[in-house]
A and B are shown apart, each in its own frame.
Chain A
């Protein structure tokens, strides 16, 4: 039977025969992930299950990135619980403090996730690794506890939607704009329970970082996974991350898709997701007179080195508007050091930015950039739900890093080419 990317990867991890969408299959997992919010619950469930050891101490990753550096006593207690569990079970991949970064930027960098892997994570943006050709998906803590104990879990084989992106976009348009436009087109439940499979010339030309930005937001369309084929570029990235033995992967030519979405991005402008859902998407020039109080550049969506370079190119020699708090959070220590080496950190600081540690912080309204009532932010993050970054009376607009940087300078949402 011809197979989609999702079906091929599931088949590689199960003894059952993957036949059709809707079928339930039990699969071995390559890596199980949880963070400082979700691991405490997973540990509670793990103990309640009567499990004594994790299935493989090298295949569990615990990354304390959400409320860290710890913002209060309660979050410190949560991390302490995770730390003690990691030590007790001899978990190899426990990250906290100076070697810790935003999980979905950190794990690919460390070579812990890659092609044809099945990764389950107690974090909805686990789908990021689809940029590397991994079937990676978010689950709740108890599902993760089960996977930590058994080394396997169950999946309903998802129907796939193929997204073909073609054309030549306008200036300052990149991966974030493609995924925002797609979510705007199909809606926040447009891929509910389904796999999104990306293809087309634009995707083939994208960097691996760009592909991860797109896969990261598959969940914002309700998707189970966002998948990219594995090409030479993917393998090059994996080798650089220290992985060996990965191979090419593409869907069968006659694989069955529930739907094919063709997206022509010729002449497309940067896209903005307006409050309060990621599908409320408009081209930047239709978002007028929107004064902002905060700009956040970072997160698992757009906190990688290419994102920081993009923002720095706009900010160089310019100052953030005095009414705007510009916050830049490089997503991992390696990215931080690279940005320092390239002089990007100096550019950010000269522009008036607060450059913070690698943390999820403001993305989820955790800490380091909470909004007051009536405040408005532009952010390179992935969600703009009501109250996401703080007060229920605040607003979050989502954009690419260049637009966020340009808007910080202008004091209002603006197309970088209009600066």
Chain B
């Protein structure tokens, strides 16, 4: 799966209150949550995002709450992939479960500037920076998590298990 879009760079320790503040948690609707994505970082942040754009972050992206509304809000905003130095644990697990692609690239995130055009190949784990011409690679998805992804997410995985 290849995704091409504009990079939106954010900093370190972007917490779930920044991604979707508590006052918006009175719904589970992805479009509604998407419309308020990153409202806790900056009012109106979402206006700069187009469908299939890519979030690029420093370390510990998604720290804080277990709220699955955070990955849902990012997906609802049209962001299918996040590239970061590292992710917070619960967010990492939630991302896979929701079908949000998360790629950990360590310090290489610095090679992806705000506004750069990126081409992400999630299967091969490569990120081509079309603006600079540089390509970076990232750690493969652990086999067990690939099993969940291959099933089509955790909902489908459990559905199969219950079927057995």
* Interface residues, chain A, with chain B CB atoms under 8 Å away: 24, 37-38, 40-41, 44-45, 48-51, 66-67, 72, 74-75, 77-78, 121-124, 126, 138-143, 145-146, 149-150, 154, 156, 188-189, 192-193, 219, 222, 224, 277, 364-366, 383, 385-388, 392
Considering residues A67, A142, A150, A392, which has the most beta carbons from chain B within 10 angstroms of its beta carbon? A142
Query: Do B60 and A78 have beta carbons less than 8 Å apart?
Result: no
Are A189 and B86 within 8 A (Cβ)? yes
Residue on B with the closest CB to A387?
B40
6 example contacts (A-B, Cβ-Cβ < 8 A) are as follows A24-B144, A48-B159, A123-B66, A124-B65, A366-B22, A366-B23
- A219 and B15 CA atoms in complex are apart in Å by 12
**Interchain CB contact under 8 A, B154 and A386:** no
Residue of B21, B65, B86, B158 touching A149 (CB-CB under 8 A):
B158
Residues of A within 8 A of B162 (CB): 49-51, 149-150
Shortest CB-to-CB span from B120 to chain A, Å, is 23
Whole-angstrom distance between the Cβ of B122 and the nearest chain A Cβ: 20
Q: A67 to B88, alpha carbons, bound, how many Å? A: 25
Contact with A along B134-154 (1 / 0, CB 8 A): 000000001010000000011
Whether B88 contacts A222 by the Cβ 8 Å rule is: yes
Stretch at the interface among B1-9, B47-55, B93-101: B93-101
Check if B27 sits within 8 Å of A74, measured CB to CB.
Answer: yes
Give Cα A277 to B18, complex, Å: 12
List 9 additional A-B contacts (Cβ < 8 Å) besides A145-B155, A189-B13, A193-B89. A67-B26, A142-B94, A142-B97, A142-B155, A146-B154, A189-B60, A192-B60, A386-B17, A387-B17
A143 partner, pick from B22, B25, B86, B97, beta carbons under 8 A: B97
CB <8 Å contact, A142 and B98:
yes
Taken together as a complex, chains A and B put the C-alpha atoms of A37 and B28 apart, in Å, by 9
**A156 vs chain B, min Cβ distance (A):** 8
Query: B68, B72, B162 — which one has the most chain A CB atoms within 10 A of its CB?
Result: B68
Count of chain B residues with Cβ under 8 Å from any Cβ of A? 44
Q: Is the CB of A224 within 8 A of B89?
A: yes
B159 and A38 contact, CB distance less than 8 A: no
Closest 5 CB pairs of A and B: A74-B26, A140-B94, A140-B68, A189-B60, A138-B66
Instruction: Pick the residue among B22, B60, B68, B88 that contacts A141 (CB under 8 A).
Output: B68
Report the bound CA distance from A333 to B52 in whole Å. 48
Contact between chains at A386 and B90 (CB < 8 Å)? no
Closest to B154 in A: A142
What is the CB-to-nearest-CB distance from A348 to chain B, in angstroms, rounded to a whole number? Answer: 25
Known pairs A24-B144, A72-B26; A143 contacts B60 (CB<8 A):
no
From B64, B97, B159, A124 is in contact (CB under 8 Å) with B64
CB distance from A179 to the nearest CB of B (A): 16
Question: Which A residues touch B69, using CB under 8 A?
Answer: 37, 41
Do A140 and B66 have beta carbons less than 8 Å apart? yes
- Residue numbers in B under 8 Å from A192 (CB-CB): 60, 86, 88-89
**Contact A48 B93, CB 8 Å, known A149-B162, A189-B86:** no
- Please indicate which of the listed interface residues B18, B89, B161 has the most CB atoms of chain A within 10 Å of its own CB: B89
- Least CB distance, A309 to chain B, in whole angstroms: 29
Q: In whole Å, how far is B153's beta carbon from the nearest beta carbon of chain A?
A: 8
User: Cβ of B23: which chain A residues have Cβ within 8 Å of it?
Assistant: 365-366
The residues of A that contact B40 with a CB separation of less than 8 Å are 385-387, 392
Name the one of B15, B26, B28, B93 contacting A41, with C-beta atoms under 8 angstroms: B28
Interface centre among B26, B64, B86, B97 (most CB of A within 10 A): B26
Query: A37's contact among B25, B60, B161, by CB below 8 Å, is which?
Result: B25
Please determine whether A38 and B63 come into contact, CB atoms closer than 8 angstroms: no
Residues of chain A with a CB closer than 8 A to B63's CB: 188-189, 222
Q: Are B21 and A365 in contact (CB under 8 A)?
A: yes
Which residues of chain A are within 8 angstroms of B27 by Cβ–Cβ distance? 74
- Knowing A38-B67, A139-B90 are in contact, say whether A150-B161 is a contact too (CB < 8 A): yes
Rounded to whole Å, the gap between the CB of B107 and the closest CB of chain A is 14
List the A residue with the shortest CB-CB distance to B97.
Answer: A142
B97 touches A140 (CB 8 A): yes
Closest chain B residue to A67, Cβ basis: B26
Contact B28 A124 (CB under 8 A): no
Q: When the two chains form their complex, are residues A383 and B17 in contact, meaning their CB atoms are under 8 A apart?
A: yes
Q: How far is the CB of A125 from chain B (nearest CB, A)?
A: 9
| A-chain residues with CB within 8 Å of residue B161 when the two chains form the complex | 150
- Distance (Å) between the CB of B18 and the closest chain A CB? 7
Q: Which residues of B contact A142 (CB under 8 A)?
A: 68, 94, 97-98, 153-155
Given A50-B159, A189-B59, A222-B63: A44 touches B28 (CB 8 Å cut-off):
yes
Tell me the complex Cα distance, A66–B26, Å: 11
Least CB distance from A140 to B in Å reads 4
Contact flag A277-B94 (CB < 8 Å), given A139-B66, A193-B89:
no
Least distance between A193 CB and chain B CB atoms (Å): 5
Bound form: Cα–Cα A141–B91 in Å: 11
B54 to chain A, nearest CB (A): 22
Complex CA gap A139/B40 in Å reads 22
The chain B residue with its CB closest to the CB of A47 is B155
Residues in B with CB closer than 8 Å to A45 are 154-155
Are A49 and B89 in contact, CB atoms less than 8 angstroms apart? Answer: no
Complex Cα distance A264/B158, Å? 47
B60 in complex: contacting residue of A138, A149, A154, A188, CB < 8 Å: A188
